[in-house]
Amino acid sequence: MDILVILIAFFVLFIFTAIPIKISANILNIEGATIGVCIIAVILSIIASILATLFIGEGVFPSVIAFIITGIFFSWLFKTNTVTGFVLAGISIGVQLILTFFIAGLGYALI
């Protein structure tokens, strides 16, 4: 049962976060933006957000730091310039934020 939950979580992560980054990378004409690289980018983005919250705390400042770290990761991972990395980071964080609000709203509706 636990393995099924983990597989479902990875599937949701794949559909709602990696696919928009893949589409955005194709729109921005980034070479070598495979699905595997997009999944790694999403995982690095989540890790950066968690670490910023753990080390700095909650609020706007850790979110800005996490965005900067994610932009640097994306620039390095996709082998592109800094501006394109930050655009992809903004898309990634935006999709994660929308997904979080959707899941929270769904949980609230089910109560």
Which residue numbers in the chain have pLDDT < 70? 1, 13, 110-111
pLDDT given for residue 32 in this prediction: 80
Contact criterion met (CB below 8 Å) for 37 and 79: no
pLDDT (0 to 100) of residue 110: 67
In this prediction, residue 111 carries a pLDDT of: 67
* pTM for the predicted model, two decimal places: 0.73
State residue 90's pLDDT score: 84
Angstrom distance (rounded) from CA 80 to CA 78:
6
> In whole angstroms, what separates CA 81 from the centre of its chain?
18
Instruction: Give the pLDDT confidence score for residue 47 in this predicted structure.
Output: 86
Domain ranges of the chain: 2-110
